Amino acid sequence: MRRNSFLILTFLAGTALFSVSEIGVSAQVPNAKKALKQLAKAQAEAKKAEDAKKAQADAKKAEEAKRTTAAKKKSDSDDELAPLKPALIGGKKDTTAVAKFIDDQIAAKLAAEKMTASPTCTDEEFLRRTYVDISGVIPTAEQAKAFLADKTPGKRAKLIDDLLASPNFGQHQADIWMGLLVQRTSDSRRVDFGSLRTWLAEEFNANKSWDVIATDIVTATGEQEKNPAVGFYLSNNTVDKMTDELCKSFLGVQLQCAQCHDHKFNDWKQTEYWAMAQFFMKVQVAGLGKDAKPTVDEKPVVRRNKMNALPESAKMVEPKFLQGPSPSIGLKDPARPTLAKWMTGPTNPFFARAMVNRVWGELFGRGIVNPVDDMVGQNLPSHPEMLTGLAADFAANAFDVKHLVRSVCNSSAYQRSSKSTAGNEKAGPQLYATMAVKVLSPEQLFDSLAVVTKFDAKAGGPAARDKMVKGFAPAARDRFVNFFLAGAEMVSLTEYEAGIPQALKLMNSRQTAGGNPQAVRAVVGSSRGAEAIEKIYLATLSRFPTDAEKARLGEYVSKASLSQDGLADVLWAVLNSSEFTLNR
Amino acid sequence: MFSSFLQERTRREVLQLSAAGVFTAGMSGWMRVLADKVATTPATKGKHKSCILLWMDGGPSHKDTFDLKPDSKGAGEFKPIKTSADGIQISEHLPKVAEVMKHGVLVRGMSTPEGAHGRAKYYAHTGFREGQGGVTYPSLGAIVSQQLGKPEATVPNYVAIAGRSFGSGFLGPKHQPLMVQAPDKGLEDLKALVSNTQFDKRVDLLKQMEEAFHREYKVDPVNDHKTTYDRAVTLMQSKEAKAFDITQEAAATRAKYGSGKFADGVVMARRLVEVGVPFVEVALGGWDTHLDNFTRVKSLSQQVDAALSSLILDLKDRGLLDSTLVVWMGEFGRTPNINTRGAKPGRDHFPRAWNLAMFGGGLKGGQVVGKTDKEGAEVVERKTTAQDFLATVCDLLGIDHTKENITPNGRPIKLVDKPNPFTKLVV
């Protein structure tokens, strides 16, 4: 199927390009602060000029790709992704049309498997889910109450818009991308990456186009003080790490195994790896030591000292784009701009798909291709046409991340209950018959605990989250996150992985346990009895307690010698419950 | 396809086993990936083995500890003394260790490629170069936890005391070390913030909430959450938890080990091994002696002398020495020559030739493996890499180091890559 459509797509790619980039440019000025607006405008103009060139280059490239493919056809080319053909679904940024497209695609597969979908989720489920997924933190009791009381039709779509507009959206994306872009190694242990986090949050909040953000990261040069985006290279400070992380984060492919040998399960050859790695050969990282200025440069000749050493497996080959042509780059010219241009080109087979798949994965707990960063080879997408369609729409809408999130969240698939219904208990997760139950990430858990208990000053200030919005990541949050990550490479979205030490901390740590009088005061104020229990439930689980819960807990509290103690017990139990730590 | 097939299949198998009550611990995503390995791990033959790693952070000078070269150019100030093992001499500042040397093996031919602290520690703990192939590798403790640890154990299978150790890498959070920062204060957050009676009430409340939630959402994370909390509460209330409380140790016993974080940590390590923890790491920092090498190494050696010798003797008294491997090592050695840059003589990083010591664990004691030249600058016999050493440790603990783990993205990684263990020489 994919192979059949390949030639047609290649043929169309060149002509489709130009109009698409026009749309991209006009769509690019975001509703943001003035400064950001100007910046975006400048970049948009620069991009316009670039796009014109790109179109030419891409047309040539498409030609070449066609030839390469023809040549490759003899060998099995199942692993090759077709170039993307950007195409709007419905009109420009047509949320409704995209949501419907998703639902049609998913319904078709459910029907084929004769599987029923679970009903639409309740407002309570929807509320907590969207808050956690979009803004990275649960709602306050007041926010929860207000939404649940609201009888206006279309309030769900409005909440999605509100959350996308809140600064927490960028913070949450920054958390996700910091996890991908920054690896703590012994080399970079002295570097402060806080500025990269702040920058990412601002970019996402300003809804900077994803191709612009990615280009800024991939081509980042200069002192960290002046350009926070160089943080990517400061953390991935050798050619192999740059190659690995670029491929994983921006292209959604795991190339790293091919560093030392041909890949066993995929088609990656060692030469393909080192052909991609060539684009980083001129990058020189400096100033990772104590009292030094971290800097990234691209130079014709790199001093191969300890810091910029090449791995033993390094091979010197012609630079070549992954499954693409070999560009010609002057000996003295920087190579990364050429790479970025190829990567973010609207027809790039990986770039838009990778981001769509990653965003989908964050929202649904699994990618359309799963794992999300292993998109090529025999790891097939559950809904190939949906992935390609969403990627095409994403590219045609100038890689508008908020549009993508908004569209997915407005789909019925996203707004499905996470409870199984009669007949679909055994549906595989790739059918999306029910919403996945996800586990709060360490960042989401910390921020949610902070919202409830208003941590004391020592633990990061009374309003840890507010400060973080201003670009301040309190040390307490980092410590907490590291403790929960416990050095792991990545967190699973759908598996509960915390161990005994983490459970002990949540139950018994003065900072986070929350079963103390201050936390109770912060949650219930002067309320007592049923009213207090209701406040606890709204503040933590974003729902009203059921009648049974009200009765049982009311009795429990009334039996306690001090009602404060009884309420503290309830708050403690709720904060340690799986319902709190899960996103259903 | 292959990798995802493996994951889906083992997940189902694990769930079946779980339903059958074979596993009482929750199965995380990591365990799902590794499930087939775990499930086929045979019970350790004979006695349950443990390992205590005494980590000498900063890189101890080999020429001033276990490989003295009195006739060399940079001989230094220390004199060698005889030990209870025939023909083996060690530093005069390790007199009590000298007495137990007959239970130990010295490895004097260590030679490794990493000369910066961070990378060298990583390499020594994992047997892989940091960043190699884009994988975060598990440290020895995590491997032991995975291979020998009981998933349902009350105390976690890997405890790290008084320092930061390397974690479990791609083996995931279940094999992360439980960290104890201040051993004299016990394990952080082990005690409830409220009275035991009130804590019990809280746990009861929590259980009721969990049951109600689970009735509606029959999903794995709810089960896994429950399992983890069950284990944590069990630990809090267990007698094994007392192993973390070294104040229960007789004052005289504690005094034998010396005083300070390291001494306390070694006492705790022994108590943990006694309750069945398979891997404990205790760190002693300060070995990065670029300046004032001799004063500092002397004082550090005295700390090691008291704690290490007492540990060996106590383990022996308790009949645990044969089943407990004690390793003393750092990330590299120090230059054979003495630098005189500062006011007081120092030694710099030296990974090309260095030493480590091992005791108990079924070793045939009183031996030396490997040899350096007259200056202590080159290994002239039995050059030993980190992989050789780690594979030997695996052999001694009854772990098959040729086994492969599968990373979350489906890549097979050997427990130890291409080693040449020296096990046959020491058992």
The residue among A134, A110, A108, A130 whose CA lies nearest residue A121 is A130
Q: Which candidate from A420, A495, A576 shows the least CB-CB separation from B29?
A: A495
With respect to residue B198, please indicate whether it lies within any of the assigned structural domains: yes
Q: Which of residues 18-77 of B touch A (CB under 8 A)?
A: 26, 28-30, 32
pLDDT at B92: 98
> If DSSP codes are grouped into helix, strand and coil, which group holds residue B272?
helix
Q: Give CA–CA dist B148/B37, Å, rounded.
A: 12
Q: Give CA–CA dist A173/A163, Å, rounded.
A: 12
Greater model confidence, A519 or B401 = B401
Q: Distance from CA of residue A573 to its chain's centroid?
A: 31
Which of A43-52, A131-140, B336-345 is the most confident on average? A131-140
CATH number of the domain residue B370 falls in? 3.40.720.10
With respect to residue B29, please indicate whether it lies within any of the assigned structural domains: no
With respect to residue B145, please indicate whether it lies within any of the assigned structural domains: yes
Contacts of B192 in chain A (CB under 8 A): 507-508
Q: CB distance A256–B134 less than 8 Å?
A: yes
The residue among B13, B77, B50, B15 whose CA lies nearest residue B362 is B50
pLDDT at A490: 62
- Least confident segment among A118-127, A431-440, B68-77, B183-192: B183-192
- A571-575 mean pLDDT: 96
- Least confident segment among A25-29, A358-362, B409-413: A25-29
Tens digit of pLDDT for each residue in A217-240? Answer: 999 999 999 999 999 999 998 898
Q: Give CA–CA dist A362/A380, Å, rounded.
A: 18
Instruction: Give the confidence band of A261 by pLDDT, cuts at 50, 70, 90.
Output: low
Instruction: Give the confidence band of A360 by pLDDT, cuts at 50, 70, 90.
Output: very high
Strand partners, B356: B107
Do B193 and B339 reside in the same domain of the chain? Answer: no
Tens digit of pLDDT for each residue in B83-112? Answer: 999 999 999 999 999 999 999 999 999 999
- A298-321 mean pLDDT: 84
Do B229 and B333 reside in the same domain of the chain? Answer: no
Q: Give CA–CA dist A222/A215, Å, rounded.
A: 15
Pick the residue of B158, B188, B225, B235 with the most A CBs within 10 A to test the interface with A by mutation. Answer: B225
Residue B204, pLDDT above cutoff 70: yes
Do B353 and B294 reside in the same domain of the chain? Answer: yes
With respect to residue B324, please indicate whether it lies within any of the assigned structural domains: yes
Strand partners, B180: B161
Tens digit of pLDDT for each residue in A144-166? Answer: 999 999 999 999 999 999 999 99
Q: Give CA–CA dist A519/A513, Å, rounded.
A: 9
Residue A364, pLDDT above cutoff 50: yes
Residue B325, pLDDT above cutoff 60: yes
pLDDT at A50: 57
Do B200 and B293 reside in the same domain of the chain? Answer: no
Largest CA distance in chain A: 82
Give the total residue count for chain A: 584
In chain B, how many H helices and how many E strands?
Answer: 12, 16
Do B115 and B196 reside in the same domain of the chain? Answer: no
pLDDT at A41: 54
Tens digit of pLDDT for each residue in A66-108? Answer: 544 444 443 344 557 889 999 999 999 999 999 999 999 999 9
Do B105 and B203 reside in the same domain of the chain? Answer: no
The last residue of a domain, from among B227, B244, B261: B244
The last residue of a domain, from among B195, B224, B244: B244
Q: How confident is the prediction for chain B on average, in pLDDT?
A: 87
Q: CB distance A492–B28 less than 8 Å?
A: yes
Q: CB distance A495–B28 less than 8 Å?
A: yes
CA distance B311 to chain A (A): 26
Residue A51, pLDDT above cutoff 80: no
- A304-311 mean pLDDT: 79
Do B115 and B127 reside in the same domain of the chain? Answer: yes
With respect to residue B399, please indicate whether it lies within any of the assigned structural domains: yes
- Least confident segment among A38-47, A160-169, A176-185, B187-196: A38-47
Q: Which candidate from B116, B178, B220 shows the least CB-CB separation from A501?
A: B178
- Least confident segment among A9-23, A317-331, B274-288, B311-325: A9-23
pLDDT at A23: 34
Q: CB distance B189–A508 less than 8 Å?
A: yes
How many domains does chain B contain in total? 2
DSSP annotation of A436 reads P
Q: Which candidate from B118, B222, B411 shows the least CB-CB separation from A189?
A: B118
Tokens, residue A81: 């992704």
CA distance B25 to chain A (A): 11
- Least confident segment among B4-8, B291-295, B417-421: B4-8
The residue among A244, A250, A265, A247 whose CA lies nearest residue A213 is A250
Do B217 and B320 reside in the same domain of the chain? Answer: no
Which of B145-159, B181-195, B343-357 is the most confident on average? B343-357
Q: Which candidate from B134, B176, B229 shows the least CB-CB separation from A486?
A: B176
Tens digit of pLDDT for each residue in B230-279? Answer: 989 999 989 889 999 999 999 999 999 999 999 999 999 999 999 999 99
With respect to residue B374, please indicate whether it lies within any of the assigned structural domains: yes
Q: Give CA–CA dist B261/B303, Å, rounded.
A: 10
**Domain encompassing residue B231:** 187-244
Greater model confidence, B164 or B150 = B150
Whole-complex ipTM: 0.79
Q: Give CA–CA dist A380/B282, Å, rounded.
A: 46
Residue A54, pLDDT above cutoff 70: no
Q: Are B176 and B165 in contact (CB under 8 A)?
A: no
With respect to residue B27, please indicate whether it lies within any of the assigned structural domains: no
- DSSP-based helix, strand, coil % in chain A, nearest 5: 55, 5, 40
Contacts of B29 in chain A (CB under 8 A): 492, 494-495, 497
Contacts of B201 in chain A (CB under 8 A): 569
Name the packing angle between helices A167-181 and A155-165 (round to 10°): 60
pLDDT at B45: 40
Strand partners, B50: B324
Instruction: Give the confidence band of A255 by pLDDT, cuts at 50, 70, 90.
Output: confident
With respect to residue B45, please indicate whether it lies within any of the assigned structural domains: yes
- Least confident segment among A166-170, B32-36, B139-143: B32-36
Q: Which of residues 106-165 of B touch A (CB under 8 A)?
A: 116-119, 121-122, 130-136, 156
- A403-432 mean pLDDT: 93
Residue A458, pLDDT above cutoff 60: no
pLDDT at A509: 86
Do B173 and B238 reside in the same domain of the chain? Answer: no
> If DSSP codes are grouped into helix, strand and coil, which group holds residue A515?
coil
Instruction: Give the confidence band of A454 by pLDDT, cuts at 50, 70, 90.
Output: confident
Do B271 and B419 reside in the same domain of the chain? Answer: yes
* Residue in chain A lying closest to B193 (CA): A508
The last residue of a domain, from among B244, B269, B291: B244
Residue A43, pLDDT above cutoff 70: no
Q: CB distance B3–A556 less than 8 Å?
A: no
Do B214 and B249 reside in the same domain of the chain? Answer: no
Pick the residue of B122, B217, B244 with the most A CBs within 10 A to test the interface with A by mutation. Answer: B217
Do B149 and B45 reside in the same domain of the chain? Answer: yes
Q: CB distance B26–A418 less than 8 Å?
A: no
